[in-house]
Structure 1
Amino acid sequence: MSDLDPFKIFLDLQLGLPRNGPGSRAATEAAFVMLPPLPDKPEIADLGCGQGASAFDLLRLTNGRVTAVDLFEPFLEKLGERAEEEGIGEDRLTVTRGDMEALSFEEAAFDLIWSEGAIYLLGFEHGLEAWRNFLKPGGFIAVSECTWLTATPSDEARAFWEAAYPTMGTIASNCEAAVRAGFEIIGTHVLNEDDWWAEYYTPMRARIAEMRATYGEAAEEVLANEEAEIALFENNPGQYSYVFYVLRRKG
């Protein structure tokens, strides 16, 4: 197994988790309730949906239709299997394979764009600019973004994120970026520690143990990197977290 693709190992790890990033149903609901009333049957896009945890939350929270978009077919296959198990039809859930930076939707297609833990792939401000025209005038966007919570992080935390995500901002700088991108700020919500552990890091630790037994040394570099990320969060509480930014399109 020494020639295994590291990305395939990472994907296998992610496929065994209930969520593909920090978050929870409670965190999704906390961001959602900040929104003013939506249309009775809103059109919603969930961008970078992974296996669809947030998409199914949005289906419970609205009577709308969710268009779930991700680039990776294995995630979408699992999302489709869950939809079939739960009896959710295409009138409420559309599953689309697509690149978040090259979306093919019509302008003003959605009342709400949702994205948890994925906008960093484009960069926060650039992502908001790229997605803005897919919202109806006055439409809403809610994204969660890894964010500094302190101006004086530890050397360990600073070094990790300067390598992993050098443009990571603060709540204030991200709000300024959102305004530049053509949005007004409705509110922000900081994910708490439980939102990282219950459905992400705790099951990830268990999944890492399973994969070590299955893959052996071939997976060690990938698994060790994930363990290092978990340890970083554990050792530097309160220095950074994902933050929901709930925004309204201006104009």
Structure 2
Amino acid sequence: MSDVDPFKLFLDIQLKLPRNGPGSARATAEAFALVPELPPAPEILDVGCGQGPEAFDLLPLTQGRITAVDLFEPFLDKLHARAVAEEVPDERLTVKRADMEELPFGDGEFDLIWSEGAIYLMGFEDGLRAWRRHLKPAGACVVSELTWLTDTPSPEAWDYWREMYPGMGTVETNSEAAKRAGYRVVATTVLPKEDWFTDYYGPMKEEIRKSWGEYEGVEEVKAVFNEMYREIDIAERFIGEFSYVFYVMTRAE
């Protein structure tokens, strides 16, 4: 029990959650409604899909095909199992294991690239620049990114996110980064506070509580759980100073 992989423990908790980050079907639908006109059956790429909740949220909103990619195979296994259980045909949903930094697609394959809460792994501007070539000339991109909503955050919130995500920007700086990466930001929408807790932090706290006894006395596990609680505590006290923001963009020429 002493040889605990903190990252694996975190992922084990994530596998038990309904979502792998803050969000909701309603927020996904609201952001999708802001996308400029798409073809009747668009090709959509969902990058860093995790277990794919947003892919399933997008399916009833479009007649197109969604290609969902992630690097963590257990997430994709759960996504595939759900697709089978809900009888989603392959021509509507394709599941593929791939690294977001080396997407195995050609130029101009997709009408829409979608990514919720995952682009931070590459960095906002770097991710947008790398993915742009996969969009058709008139294509759109929707990304949710952790964003400061104030220029004067509380010192505790600032110190926490400066440590955890030093590249975190504001809506203004992220919009400028998107422009440099070759996009035009046409709309933004802020994820509300309840979408952090209903399907993410609330279930996470419950899973930590249930798992705590299994690792009684294992200090490495205690440290991992305490770090998760620390993040939840920061969110509970300072949401409104930051949140996820959906950036709805079109490819600029």
Q: TM-score range by the shorter chain?
A: over 0.9
Alignment of 1:2-81 (within 5 A): 2-81=2-81
1:238 paired to 2:232: no
Cα gap change, 1:76/1:217 in structure 2, threshold over 3 Å: closer, same or farther?
farther
1:137-185 CA distances to partner (integer Å, 9 max, x unpaired)? 0100000000001111111111111111111000011011111111111
Contact 2:186 2:248 in 1 (8 A): yes
The residue type paired with residue 111 of structure 2 is D
Counterpart contact for 2:182–2:251, Cα < 8 Å = yes
Residue type matched to 2:90 in 1? E
Deviation, 1:210, is 1.0
Cα deviation for residue 215 of structure 1 reads: 2.7
Distance (Å, rounded) in 2 between the aligned partners of 1:202 and 1:164:
21
> Which amino acid in 1 is paired with 2:236?
E
Helix, strand or coil at the partner of 1:238: coil
Equivalent position SS for 2:168: coil
Contact 2:36 2:140 in 1 (8 A): no
* Paired position in structure 2 for 1:201: 201
CA shift in 2, pair 1:94/1:217, >3 Å: farther
Give the SS at the match of 1:114.
Answer: strand
- 2:23 maps to a residue whose letter is G
CA-CA distance at 1:37 after TM superposition: 2.2
Partner of 1:225: 227
Give the distance between the partners of 2:66 and 2:31, measured in 1 at CA.
Answer: 17
Q: Distance in 2 between matches of 1:249 and 1:138?
A: 6
Q: With structure 1 as the length reference, what TM-score do the two structures score? A: 0.98
Q: CA deviation at 1:217?
A: 3.6
Aligned: 1:145 with 2:148: no
Q: 1:237 deviation in Å?
A: 3.0
Shift of 1:2: 1.5
Gaps of at least 5 residues in structure 1 are: none
1:134-213 alignment to 2 at 5 Å? 134-213=134-213
Percent sequence identity over aligned pairs: 57
Q: How far off its partner does 1:91 sit?
A: 1.0
Equivalent residue pairs, number: 251
Task: Please say if residues 187 and 249 of structure 2, whose CA atoms lie closer than 8 Å, have aligned partners that are also in contact.
Answer: yes
Residue-by-residue CA offset, 1:74-129 (whole Å, 9 max, x unaligned): 00000000000000121111111111011110110100000000001110011100
- Sort the Cα spacing of 1:126 and 1:206 in 2 relative to 1 into closer, same or farther, 3 A: same
SS at match of 1:101: helix
Task: Work out whether residues 116 and 144 of structure 1, in 8 Å CA contact, stay in contact via their aligned partners in 2.
Answer: yes
Letter in 2 for 1:221: A
Deviation at 1:73, TM superposition (A): 0.4
In structure 1, C-alpha distance between the alignment counterparts of 2:85 and 2:213, rounded to whole Å: 30
Deviation at 1:213, TM superposition (A): 2.3
Q: Distance in 1 between matches of 2:237 and 2:185?
A: 32
| Structure 1 stretches of at least 4 aligned residues deviating more than 4 Å after TM superposition | none
Residue by residue over 1:190-248, the C-alpha shift from the partner in whole angstroms, topping out at 9 and shown as x without a partner, is 00101101111111111110111223343211111010000011121311000000000
2-structure distance, mates of 1:169, 1:124: 9
Alpha carbon RMSD of aligned pairs, Å?
A: 0.9
